[in-house]
Amino acid sequence: MDQLSAVGDWRMWAIMAGVCVAIVFYCWDKFSIEVVSAVVVAACLLFFQVADGPDAGTLLAGFANPALITILALLIIGQGIFQTGALEAPTRAMLAMYDVRPKITILALFLFVFAVSAFINNTPVVVMFIPILGAIAAREKNSPSIYMMPLSYVCILAGMTTLIGSSTNLLVAESLLDTSGLQLGFFTPTGPGLILAGVGLLYITFILPHLTPKRADMESEITGTSAGKQYIAQIEVGSGHPLLGQKPVAGMFPDLPDVTVRMIQRGENALLPPFDTVELQHGDLVIVAATRKKLTELLSSRADFLKGMLRAAGPGEAPAPGERLAITEAIVSPGSRLIGRTIRQIGFRHSVGAVVLGIQRRSRMFRARMGEIRLEAGDVLLMFGTGDAMRKLRADRDLLLIEWATSDLPDPRRAMAARVIFGGVVLTAATGLLPIVVSSVLGAVAMIATGSLNTRQAARAFDMKVYLLIGSAFALGTSLEATGGAEVLAYGVVALFQPFGTIALLSALFFLVAALTNVLSNNATAILFTPIALNAAEQTGGDPILFALTVLFAANTCFATPIGYQTNLLVMGPGKYKFTDFVKAGLPLSLLIWAAFTVFIWLNSGLRF
- Name the 3-class secondary structure at 305: helix
Q: Across the strands, what pairs with 290?
A: 231
CA-CA distance, 498 to 406, in Å (whole number)? 63
Helix axes 522-540, 167-180, angle to 10 degrees: 30
- Name the 3-class secondary structure at 328: strand
CA-CA distance, 12 to 23, in Å (whole number)? 17
Query: Tens digits of per-residue pLDDT, 496-528?
Result: 888 888 899 999 999 989 998 887 767 767 877
Give CA separation, 395 vs 222, 242, 269, 354, 414, in Å: 22, 37, 39, 13, 31
pLDDT at 63: 85
Closest CA relative to residue 421, chosen from 87, 38, 61: 87
Closest CA relative to residue 503, chosen from 599, 409, 579: 599
Closest CA relative to residue 359, chosen from 331, 325, 392: 331
Say which residues have a Cβ less than 8 Å from residue 89's Cβ, sequence separation at least 6. Answer: 301
Using a cut of 0.85, tell me whether the model's pTM lies above it.
no
Q: Across the strands, what pairs with 235?
A: 286
Instruction: Indicate the helix (H) or strand (E) that contains 279.
Output: none
**Contact indicator for 550, 509 with CB cutoff of 8 Å:** yes
Say which residues have a Cβ less than 8 Å from residue 28's Cβ, sequence separation at least 6. Answer: none
Spans of the chain, pLDDT less than 70: 1-8, 27, 29, 67, 87-89, 91-92, 120-121, 124, 215-228, 300-303, 308-324, 362-368, 403-411, 430, 466, 486, 490, 521, 524, 606-609
pLDDT at 409: 66
325-332, strands of its sheet edge to edge: 269-271, 260-266, 285-291, 230-236, 355-360, 380-386, 325-332, 399-409
Query: Tens digits of per-residue pLDDT, 25-82?
Result: 876 767 877 888 899 899 999 999 888 888 888 888 878 877 678 778 877 887 787 7
